[in-house]
Amino acid sequence: MVAKPLLKKLAKEHGTPLFVVDHEQLRRNLAEFKRWLPRVQPYYAVKANSLPEIVRTLYRAGASFDVASLPEFLCVHENIKDLPAKERQDFIWDKIIYANPIKAIATLKTLDQYKPLVTYDNYEEIRKVKKYAPHAGMVLRLKVPNTGAMVELSSKFGAAPGEAVNLIEASEKAGLTVEGLSFHVGSQTTNFQNYVQALNLAADILKEARARGYRQMKQLDIGGGFPAPYDANVQPLRELAKILNSEIKRLFPKDVQILAEPGRFLVATACTSVAQVIGKADRDGRRCYYINDGVYHTYSGIIFDHCKYPVKAFKKGPTQICAVFGPTCDALDTISLTEELPDLDLGDLVYSENIGAYSHASSTYFNGFPPAQVVHINQA
């Protein structure tokens, strides 16, 4: 948590809306992930927050990366390339997985020179990869239950379990080696049984594939979904790790490498936004505040991520239930209708914590308002 005096100082120095990235917290989150899941190599899911400074800090702290578009791939590749040779590893699969099962032909054509590791979940994709990126390694994405996740992903991607081994066979027959399996249990998964079911399913498929002679499969990618501690009801990573570690040990031979694609868990708690009250009105008996950041900008997670970010004031005093709106002319630009805030004046600052994931990354320029300015603190 960034100290309040520092937030105020930064806002004074840089103006608002401001998006503060605490790199010490990024390193702490990665260290926690590695501490509780020592057998699992984290591939940071860049889409959660694609600021290159974040990529660099996590890379230096030992992370690998999950990318899902050509710009994300090139961002990671560039930021790794810039580092001194001794800090760099040249074998790209150790550092980058391209985890979007659907890839445009132009993307495949560019990716091929890097001999990438890519996910797939259907026959058309095998034909496409074979033709346009024949040097790629393949990872089969499985459809697994996403029950109770804050953001559901299983309706869009994933091979049905009954089709999985046939898809492995088809890829191998096309001359594309299948290196392993992946899944995603849904983002902000607080129902840990999703992971248990997915691991058991993956273990069955791996066994069957090996029995059919596909013994080269050595990667298990357990995806993202690791919940950020937005509130006290979210169980700590430690508890999920206990379950994961024992299931992984029980189900997978030692020669299977386990990787994960945490996005939210690594960045959510590392960023704080600061905005300013630019308007104030009483409507239908309710105090309404208008601030200079909203759902088209840093608070975009309210729409796209089904997330809530409490808006807090620096000012003390008796509170009342207020509405908080963003600066644009659209009524959708509503941050909250039930925020407990003290009496605020125009120019007063407010802030939201734990706003690092799926927030700034999906800011727009709607209505001519640009995304919040970014400042980095505790960068090594």
Catalog residues that contact ligand PLP under the rule CB under 6 A: 45, 47-48, 66, 99, 184, 187, 223-226, 261-265
Q: Determine the residue with CB nearest ligand PLP.
A: 224
Kindly tell me which of 103 and 184 has the beta carbon lying closer to ligand PLP: 184
Minimum CB distance to ligand PLP, residue 43 (Å): 8
* Annotated catalytic residue 75: no
The least distance separating ligand PLP from the CB of residue 267, rounded to whole angstroms, comes to 8
Going by C-alpha positions, the residue among 66, 117, 120, 92 that lies closest to residue 219 is 117
Query: Within its chain, how far is the Cα of 60 from the centroid?
Result: 18
- Residue 338 carries which side chain, given as an amino acid letter? T
Distance CA 287, CA 343 (A): 9
Nearer to ligand PLP, 224 or 327 (CB): 224
Helix (H), strand (E), coil (C) string for the chain: CCCHHHHHHHHHHHCCCEEEEEHHHHHHHHHHHHHHCCCEEEEEEHHHCCCHHHHHHHHHCCCEEEECCHHHHHHHHHHHHCCCHHHCCCCHHHHEEECCCCCCHHHHHHHHHHCCEEEECCHHHHHHHHHHCCCCEEEEEECCCCCCCCECCCCCCCECHHHHHHHHHHHHHCCCCEEEEECCCCECCCCCHHHHHHHHHHHHHHHHHHHCCCCCCCEEECCCCCCCCCCCCCCCHHHHHHHHHHHHHHHCCCCCEEEECCCHHHHHHHEEEEEEEEEEEEECCEEEEEECCCCCCHHHHHHHCCCCCCCEECCCCCEEEEEEECCCCCCCCEEEEEEEEECCCCCCEEEECCCCCCCHHHCCCHHHCCCCEEEEECCC
**At its nearest, how many Å lie between ligand PLP and the CB of residue 265?**
6
Helices (H), 37-153: 52-60, 70-81, 92-95, 105-111, 123-132
Shortest Cβ distance from residue 103 to ligand PLP (Å)? 13
- As annotated, the active-site residues are 329
